[in-house]
Amino acid sequence: MVLTHPGQRLEDTIVRDPRAGPGQVVVQVEACGVCRTDLHIADGELPSARSPVIPGHEVVGTVAEVGVGVDAFACGDRVGVPWLAWTCGKCAFCRAGRENLCDHARFTGYTIDGGYAEYLVADGRFCFRMPSGAPASSLAPWLCAGLIGYRALRAAGDARRLGIYGFGAAAHIVAQIARFRGQEVYAFTRSGDVTAQAFARSLGAIWAGASVDVAPAMLDAAIIFAPVGPLVPQALRTVAKGGTVVCAGIHMSDIPQFAYELLWGERRICSVANLTRQDAIEFIELAPTIPIHTSVVQYPLQRANEALASLRAGTINGAAVLTMSGGHHRVGE
């Protein structure tokens, strides 16, 4: 499913089968999560996207071809392919273990083709071995909703009372990790979205309400997944002195001017950018021990536009996932 021009529908297209170059693997896609970042790319809200591009960066599949120099994987291995596709390894950020900030980084489904397809090619160093027993559709959201959520949760520190603004794919995973860690979760949703609020409570949130509501207790930290700038001052009002507000999305509307009083008291605002391979290693090891259960709504690959529309409308509880028919065979096989 190819995005030819931002703002237009994805097109069901036949493209040449990818081949593995040195250091690369070809992955036969089993499932690919539909992330809000995909929606931002499709709607033209993110600059520098490749055009045309095959979106999708929450990929679970099996290795179909191994390039020269790849020793970590063999054909038939189940792997995950995340947003971070390649880094230079040489810049100051990479050398400091902050490869998520590499100025030369490449990103799956954004600057290189992604997983809204039956096959994709990926750098073997940026793929991760995935559990073999679970359905691919349940694992796909781990590759961004899980990884970015995990990084955002770490940025929030050891908050006893944690607020989550925007209860979608990432939030429903983060809530499970937070509850596993013994934290109290307070969920903030769109006004009147009683379904999302009930969903949050079913995952252990001790309170759920609208984003404009006042929580019953001051929070130690808040994570904002919704791409809504006015939520930043709103979250600052709910966070106690010394608390942190984490902006976890890649895109957000403008943050309105707010009084310094909201920030005073050593409150802190920070953002989370991309992920590192270490984030993936830690999260994929942690998830089965909780265990993380993902709530997914499945769509066939050819209905990717419908999945994006549902995400845009906010009608999905949990994560949307594209699944492949499995009917295509690579040339020469």
Mean pLDDT of the region 51-60: 97
**Closest by CA position to 85, among listed 46, 47, 125:** 125
Q: How far is CA 316 from the centre of its chain?
A: 15
**Domains in the chain, start-ordered, CATH in brackets?**
24-144+275-323 (3.90.180.10), 147-271 (3.40.50.720)
Reply yes or no on whether the pLDDT at 29 is more than 90: yes
DSSP state letter for 175: H
pTM of the model: 0.94
Where do the DSSP E strands lie in 116-218? 119-123, 128-129, 161-165, 184-189, 207-210
Looking at residue 48, its pLDDT comes to: 86
Band the pLDDT of 192: cuts 50, 70, 90.
very high
User: 3-state class of 18 per DSSP?
Assistant: coil
Beta partners for residue 26, in sequence order = 65, 121
Band the pLDDT of 332: cuts 50, 70, 90.
very low
Looking at residue 166, its pLDDT comes to: 96
Reply yes or no on whether the pLDDT at 331 is more than 60: no
Q: What's the CA gap between 9 and 43, in Å, rounded?
A: 9
pLDDT over 70 for what percent of the chain?
A: 97
Looking at residue 270, its pLDDT comes to: 98
Over the stretch 66-87, which tens digit does the pLDDT of each residue have? 999 999 999 999 999 999 999 9
Asked whether 158 and 243 are in contact (CB, 8 A), the reply is no
Residue-wise DSSP of 122-147:
EEGGG-EE--SSS-HHHHGGGGTHHH
**Closest by CA position to 170, among listed 238, 233, 223:** 223
Over the stretch 256-294, which tens digit does the pLDDT of each residue have? 999 999 999 999 999 999 999 999 999 999 999 999 999
Looking at residue 137, its pLDDT comes to: 97
